[in-house]
Amino acid sequence: MSKLNVAIVQAAPIPLAIGDGIEKAVRLAREAVEDGAQLVAFGETFLGGYPLWLDEAPGAALWDHPGTKALHRILLEQAVVANDERLLPLQELCDESGAVISIGAHERVRQSLYNNQMTFRPGLPVLDHRKLVPTHGERLVWMRGDGSTLGVHQAEWGKVGSLICWEHWMPLARAAMHNLGESVHVACWPTVREEYALASRHYAMEGRCFVLAAGLVQAKEDLFDGLERAGGDAPARELIEAIEGDALNRGGSIIIAPDARIVALAGEGEEILHAELDLSEIGQGLASLDTDGHYSRPDVFELTVDRKPKGGVTWAN
């Protein structure tokens, strides 16, 4: 199979209220699949919404801030968990259509939250990728992932993997993913700013793969709406009210070819961005640049990836 139909769902999440967000995601993913998409990508933490207050609300990082604590509690209560039955409609859509769906979520493991980009696959368990290093203020919300969730899905048309946001500026993470031989890479962002677009295009060129740089559309009013759906909270609302401006994530999603050219470009509103990819371009590009092969120096550089889960506690018999 040399031709692949893909789509980026550039849409506003329903912040905090993850059950409602799943319903919206299923509806939009089904629309993309019915229009021919075999791979559908959503942006960073579409399920739960990007925690905009970390960057935009003055005082959010202050110790013991009541609004920050309230929002963290809501995220913990709402977050997806392993084998979460609320996610079954996404799995069923994959099973019935044969499509692959990549979507970001707040995930709870024990008492901690992770930024997880989940890949739903026909007839297979969800493939997780937990963000290795939460960026700057994000460390107030998310734990660090480990090497156990660095991987790709082998589809009939090739391999698909993902990295989240500033992981695209982690050279060794990129090298590890290039070694896995992605045909299509999902680059997840809260919004695709100019520098994020540059990082995504660089990844495509360096990895000789197609890249779906997926962004969100998110406004201050979306935070208020999601908060009310999640049960409301006065201190949380007060923190959100302190945010200046309205349109905070503006989309800008891009589909990029292995030579870094732009195949399709979204605007700033909600839309589903489609493209047909010619996967034969990958092999043609490898003739001049193969960073994991003839353009590498394994006699000089060596990378070891620890794939063991790091749970923190080992229970011995």
DSSP SS3 for 245 = coil
Whether 167 sits among the annotated catalytic residues: the reply is no
Among 162, 132, 164, which Cα is nearest to 145's?
132
Please state the φ and ψ torsions of residue 43, each to the nearest 5 degrees.
Answer: -80, -175
Angle, CA 178 vertex, CA 123 and CA 4 arms, to 5°:
50
Annotated catalytic residue 131: yes
Q: Which of 94, 107, 138, 165 is catalytic?
A: 165
Residue carrying structure tokens 């550039």: 10
The one catalytic residue in 44, 138, 167, 182 is 44
Please pick, among 94, 107, 131, 182, the residue that the annotation labels catalytic. Answer: 131
CB 232 within 8 A of CB 29: no
Query: What residues form DSSP beta bridges with 152?
Result: 161
Q: Which two tokens stand for residue 120?
A: 């739903």
Measured CA to CA in angstroms, residue 105 lies from 1, 7, 133 at distances of 31, 19, 16
Segment holding 247, helix H or strand E? strand 247-250
Residue-by-residue DSSP string for 16-77:
S-HHHHHHHHHHHHHHHHHTT-SEEEE-TTTBT---THHHHSTTTTSTT-HHHHHHHHHHHH
Nearest-angstrom CA–CA distance, 219 and 246: 5
Catalytic annotation, residues: 44, 131, 165
